[in-house]
């Protein structure tokens, strides 16, 4: 419980902000070396109980860690010597050639001003050392990538990355890149600049709803902004919502996909130590939940059952002590 006193015209007013009852995680991972930030869940289609959670360890001597569903670090899946990895996302069946598709993770490498692309679970680099981003900016902060969301067009199957950064202009804060594979390897081509920015804090969290074709991102001090993910549908902002539901920073975004276009958008209310849940269909606020985490940056969710512990799906949230928390989706009441 947090007690707050206000003095108005000589009168002391007492206010009490109550915390929601905490929900304990099913699994807490082993600690990373430095600072957890953002997770991505890879579903093992052959055996969902052997699915993997990838998470960033944010530092100049950072890494991407792989965890099993018991929270153990899988050293053979860990990518080391990454210069300040920030956010990570995952997509399935990226077409390398006429006969080969691979699942991939993409993550930002802030200090090198680039994004990385690896196949999973074999952890093979597909980027020849990295794809530079925001190359046309002169300001070094405006070239530092932070958030990333992968978009796979349901019709064309093209794979694109929507990237945010440490600082940027009031318009065209996000850049969108398409990964294109040919006999010489994979390249990243800039296909769009878009996205409003309030100028108040920064934009880090980016999440894409492939099926419905929307991208959401957190303009941290203002609202959750919504656009079409497909560049061909234009750059008009579709919605700016949620501002009244957050204490301070609007952070990590996860999209829980259900049948018939139902589902949820789960967003970290960072300083309040809670998560706000919105309708995937119309973005209306549904409820808040306290998942026991502190200062959560990134989160991810899948609605596929993953074995005995996560029978209804898996929600993963970063915690400020260098771990990730895993929850069976039923614990969120979803």
207-252 pLDDT, tens digit each: 999 999 999 999 999 999 999 999 999 999 999 999 999 999 999 9
How many degrees, rounded to 5, is the angle at CA 59 between CA 53 and CA 61?
Answer: 95
- Residue (of 322, 236, 310, 231) closest to 43 by Cα position: 310
Distance CA(255)–CA(98), nearest Å, equals: 31
Distance CA(291)–CA(302), nearest Å, equals: 17
Distance CA(49)–CA(138), nearest Å, equals: 47
Distance CA(200)–CA(132), nearest Å, equals: 26
Distance CA(226)–CA(216), nearest Å, equals: 5
- Segment (H or E) for 253: strand 250-257
pLDDT for the residue 8: 42
Distances (CA, A) of 230 to 91, 188, 208, 218, 280: 16, 16, 10, 19, 18
pLDDT for the residue 16: 56
Distance CA(291)–CA(327), nearest Å, equals: 9
Distance CA(244)–CA(202), nearest Å, equals: 18
pLDDT for the residue 134: 98
CATH number of 2-332: 2.120.10.30
Distance CA(184)–CA(320), nearest Å, equals: 41
Which positions of the chain have pLDDT values less than 50? 1-15
pLDDT for the residue 17: 64
pLDDT tens per residue, range 281-315: 999 999 999 999 999 999 999 999 999 999 999 99
User: Based on C-alpha coordinates, what's the Rg of the chain?
Assistant: 19
Q: What residue ranges do the domains of the chain occupy?
A: 2-332
Distance CA(41)–CA(228), nearest Å, equals: 24
Strands (E) in 138-222, as ranges, are 145-152, 159-165, 174-182, 185-194, 203-209, 214-219
Residue 100 CB burial class (10 angstroms; 0-12, 13-18, ≥19): exposed
Distance CA(82)–CA(118), nearest Å, equals: 13
Beta bridge partners of 253: 267
Distance CA(196)–CA(39), nearest Å, equals: 25
Torsion of CA 207, 247, 296, 115, to 10 degrees: 40
Distance CA(299)–CA(88), nearest Å, equals: 10
Distance CA(116)–CA(105), nearest Å, equals: 8
Distance CA(241)–CA(228), nearest Å, equals: 15
For 192, the token pair is 């769009």
């Amino acid at each position: 419980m947090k007690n707050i006193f206000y003095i108005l015209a000589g009168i002391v007013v007492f206010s009490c902000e109550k915390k929601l009852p905490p929900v304990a995680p099913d699994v807490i991972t082993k600690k990373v070396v430095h600072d957890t930030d953002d997770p991505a869940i890879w579903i093992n289609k052959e055996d969902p109980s052997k699915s993997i959670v990838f998470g960033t360890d944010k530092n100049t001597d950072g890494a991407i860690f792989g965890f099993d569903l018991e929270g153990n670090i899988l050293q053979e899946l860990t990518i080391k010597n990454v210069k300040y990895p920030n956010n990570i996302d995952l997509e399935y069946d990226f077409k390398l050639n006429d006969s080969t598709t691979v699942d991939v993770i993409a993550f930002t490498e802030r200090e090198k001003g680039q994004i990385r692309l690896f196949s999973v679970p074999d952890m093979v680099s597909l980027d020849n050392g990295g794809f530079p981003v925001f190359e046309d900016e002169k300001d070094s902060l405006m070239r530092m990538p932070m958030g990333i969301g992968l978009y796979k067009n349901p019709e064309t199957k093209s794979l694109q990355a929507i990237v945010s950064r440490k600082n940027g202009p009031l318009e065209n804060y996000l850049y969108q890149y398409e990964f294109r594979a040919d006999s010489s390897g994979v390249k990243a081509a800039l296909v769009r600049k878009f996205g409003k920015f309030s100028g108040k804090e920064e934009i880090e969290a980016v999440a894409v709803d492939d099926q419905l074709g929307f991208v959401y991102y957190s303009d941290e001090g203002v609202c959750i902004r919504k656009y079409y993910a497909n560049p061909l549908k234009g750059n008009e902002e579709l919605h700016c919502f949620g501002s009244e539901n957050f204490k301070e920073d609007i952070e990590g975004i996860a999209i829980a996909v259900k049948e018939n276009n139902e589902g949820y958008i789960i967003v970290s209310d960072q300083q309040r130590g809670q998560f706000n849940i919105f309708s995937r269909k119309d973005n209306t606020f549904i409820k808040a939940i306290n998942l026991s985490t502190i200062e959560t940056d990134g989160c991810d969710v899948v609605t596929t059952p993953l074995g005995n512990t996560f029978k209804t799906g898996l929600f993963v949230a970063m915690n400020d002590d260098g771990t990730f928390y895993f929850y069976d989706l039923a614990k969120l009441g979803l």
